[in-house]
Amino acid sequence: MNSVVLVGRLTRDPELRYIPGTGKPVATFSLAVNRPFTNKEGKREADFFNIVVWGKAGENCANYLSKGRLVSVKGSIQNRTYETQTGEKRYITEIIADRVEFLESKNRLESQNSVSDNLERNFEPVGLDPEGFQALDDDDIPF
């Protein structure tokens, strides 16, 4: 069985390419995943994984993800080799994603914070007496 689930942050913006001849979209990005323990100096270490996302999911990643975003990736590990122009053989290990879930949105979080800040600054209580209680007329009381 070859299955992997990772949760981490993008280390760079996704790169979107289209395969020549077929036009199939493919997005690639790198994911930093914290280790569950710290090193001898008390610092948390991370592992970095290359992620490959094909098709419409790849286009969505390229359009909506950016460096620093938290995502979860489900897929499989794949090794491949290629030869450089100088004839050296290179090995690459990648995660081929079946599913990518966007776990947070920086834009949404920032906009929520700015909306709540604006509401607090623009809020003016209406109908309060000098002690901060709402003034009620006897007709407003239901009993």
Asked if pLDDT for residue 125 goes beyond 60, the answer is: no
Q: Could you tell me the pTM of the whole model?
A: 0.70
Domain ranges (residues) in the chain: 4-124
Residue 6 CA: distances (Å) to CA of 1, 21, 27, 57, 113: 16, 32, 17, 17, 28
pLDDT of residue 60: 95
Give the rounded percent of residues in the chain with a pLDDT score beyond 70: 73
Q: Does domain 4-124 have CATH number 2.40.50.140?
A: yes
Average pLDDT over residues 120-143: 50
Separation of alpha carbons 56 and 94, rounded Å: 19
Average pLDDT over residues 31-58: 92
DSSP per-residue letters across 83-96:
E-TTS-EEEEEEEE
Average pLDDT over residues 107-117: 55
> For the chain, how big is the Rg over CA atoms in Å?
25
